[in-house]
Structure 1
Amino acid sequence: MTTHAPPENAPHPPRRSRGGTLARHPVTWFFALAFGLSWLAWTPYILSGNGLGVWHFTFPGGGLGSQLLGVLPGAYLGPIASALLVTGVSEGRAGLRAWRRRMTSFRVSWLWYAAVLVAVPAALTLSTAALSGTGPVLPSAAVLVAYLPGLVLQMVTTGLAEEPGWREFAMPRLQHRHGALRATLIVGPLWGAWHLPLFLTEWGGGPHVGLLEPVEFLATTVAFSVVMTWLFNRSGESMPLVMLLHTSVNNYFSTAWSEVFPSASSRTTAHAFLLASVTGAVILLVATRGRLGLREGRGGGVAKDLGGTPSAV
């Protein structure tokens, strides 16, 4: 295995005297804690009337309320809390300060943000049209007004809960050891598997969901992770931009999709997301020859051309 010099913005290797086995195996501990804490916190939601119905209790507030009260606490307790815990134990306050700087790095050309805001709805609209055989309908003014507030809500819920763990914590460390593509093929399936208990609830169409839905979801997370890795690397590890990419998908489906395609089946969303992700992944893998924006000779970190154009690969 080729050994590369660590990049400037890679997490500093912790001293052996700090954190013991957690400091020696931070990524393993991160994934174990992320899964364990989230799954434990999701147990009431899974057993409630929103899931298996073992407990005679239903989370209030309909679909949105049950997600905020049943799903979100476990999401926050998993990836982001685990990343902060492992970073704090293994790297101390200096590591936490560096984590905060990376999380608030908005120093990316506005073209990147514009590209994500336009590309995600465009890609999902095209894939849905191709699968459903129907053209899109212009959404109502109410949907257009709600789109940006919905995106902000998604950023501080889904984006903030998940991406500080999967992309900010795990990816730089795994890329430094394995390179971009292998790291993506580790993070992608684990990111998808972390969601699996939720398929027993209304979140995933449960509790009697079939095998196809979670398998399709896992395939989508792997393909979409390829796109996420490329953006992560090419944007200078900009976490706000990575979070925007992730949450733009959620926001489009939850806010606009049903009005843009009023006659399409709700299951088409999963198929459209998979088609768009696989298409994007194949294009990026071919265009970058598997490097996914990671410069040759560097096992972690990214190119520093923060002002580059989004079309560059």
Structure 2
Amino acid sequence: MSSSHARPAGYRNDLTLFTAIAFGMSWAAWAVAIALGEAGAATAFHALGAFGPLVGALVIRIRRRRRGEAAPARTVRFRKAALAWTPVLLVVGSATVLAGAFLAHQGGGPALGLDAGKDMIEANPGGPVSFFATMLLVGPLSEEPGWRGTAYPRLRATMNRYTVGLVLGVVWAVWHLPLFFIDGTVQNELGLATPSGALLTASAVPMAMLVCHAYERAGVLAAIATHFAVNTTMVMLGVEEPVTLAMIMGVQAIVAVGLLATVRPAAERPADGPAAPAAPVPDGARAR
């Protein structure tokens, strides 16, 4: 195929293959972790499963390049501006969690505190550096090149921004379900059939919309930053109570919808100012 953008039918094939790899690799590794129970090897398979979306993204990219296809039209490429937006989006992601936790406390929920986060850091053999590196690697880095960098631009070929966020949120929530059965995970501690477990699962939708906005604003790096900020702040605060989870989910939904409604995607903005007018074509060079 030529280097022009692939047709939506090609995107559907890519999405099918990506989804099969992401779910197949992740769920297979997590099935082993579930079977091993509390064995030390279960931790390795738990971590391995997080890389399903990344492997799927790499396969799609290799496949696209072998076919000579350009990246999808809605792909947000890396730009230097992304480096400037990364700390801003880190703050925005973290602020949605802090604001929700604060509002929940004002309504009678648990108080904010870092005791849970400190305990986890102290329990980590590598200390703070290892803890935050793991938080970055297992989740943001292992997922965002797939969900946002690969799936998002292909879904946008036929869907609006809100529908893409909703679809990716639901898929994301389903993809995470096996974690409820792996010892030592936050999901397992909450339980799938509890209010907290149900809210944590549902929260994948507004969070997906928030991370989709970040991707639209500055690409995969921005999506990684937002994902990392939300996950890390949730863990540091030890968010588990239903009222807190519900409030955070509400704040993220409002912020995400507001940002999607007001901020134009980077892929739709000219990179270097207005396009130059087309040069006149000599008569002799017209269609032959």
Q: Which TM-score band applies after superposition, normalised by the shorter structure?
A: 0.7 to 0.9
Does structure 1 conserve the Cα–Cα contact (< 8 Å) formed by 2:141 and 2:224?
yes
- Normalised by the length of structure 2, the TM-score is 0.72
**Alignment RMSD (CA, Å):** 3.8
Alpha-carbon distance, 1:114 to partner: 2.6
Give the unaligned 5+ runs of structure 2: 122-126, 273-288
C-alpha contact 2:165 2:209 (8 A) present in aligned 1: yes
- Alignment-derived partner of residue 127 in structure 1: 100
- The equivalent residue for 2:280 is none
Q: CA deviation at 1:94?
A: 5.8
| 1:81 and 2:61 are equivalent in the alignment | no
* Whole-angstrom distance in 2 between the partners of 1:89 and 1:245: 28
**More deviation, 197-206/103-112:** 103-112
CA distance in 1, matches of 2:207, 2:33: 27
| Cα distance change, pair 94–212 in 1 and its aligned pair in 2 (3 A) | farther
2:154 aligned partner, one-letter code: R
Are 1:36 and 2:8 counterparts? no
Cα distance change of structure 1 residues 287 and 239 upon mapping to structure 2, 3 Å threshold: closer
Is the contact between residue 6 and residue 69 of structure 2 (CA under 8 Å) also seen in structure 1? Answer: no
The 1-side partners of 2:11 and 2:255 are apart by: 37
Please tell me the residue identity of whatever aligns with 2:229: S
How big is the shift at 1:103?
Answer: 9.5
User: What is the Cα deviation at residue 27 of structure 1?
Assistant: 0.6
1:240 equivalent in structure 2: 221
- Report the AA paired with residue 253 of structure 1: M
> What's the counterpart of residue 244 of structure 2?
272
Question: How many correspondences in the alignment?
Answer: 256
Displacement after TM superposition at 1:113 (Å): 2.3
Q: How does 1:19-98 map to 2 (within 5 A)?
A: 25-50=13-38, 58-59=39-40, 67=43, 69-76=44-51, 78-92=52-66
Identity of aligned residues (%): 22
C-alpha distance in structure 1 between counterparts of 2:12 and 2:101, whole Å: 45
Larger radius of gyration: 2
Distance in 2, Cα, partners of 1:22 & 1:110 = 32
SS of residue paired to 2:40: coil
Measured after TM superposition, the shift of residue 122 of structure 1 is: 3.0
The range that moved more, 207-216 or 191-200, is 207-216
Gaps of 5+ in 1: 1-9, 15-20, 51-57, 61-65, 259-265, 296-300, 307-313
What amino acid sits opposite 1:48 in the alignment? Answer: L
Provide closer, same or farther for how the CA distance between residues 201 and 93 of structure 1 changes in structure 2, counting only shifts above 3 A.
same
Aligned amino acid, residue 29 of structure 2 = A
Q: What's the CA shift string for 1:119-175, capped at 9, x where partnerless?
A: 3333322322322345545789997xx767644432233212111110000000101
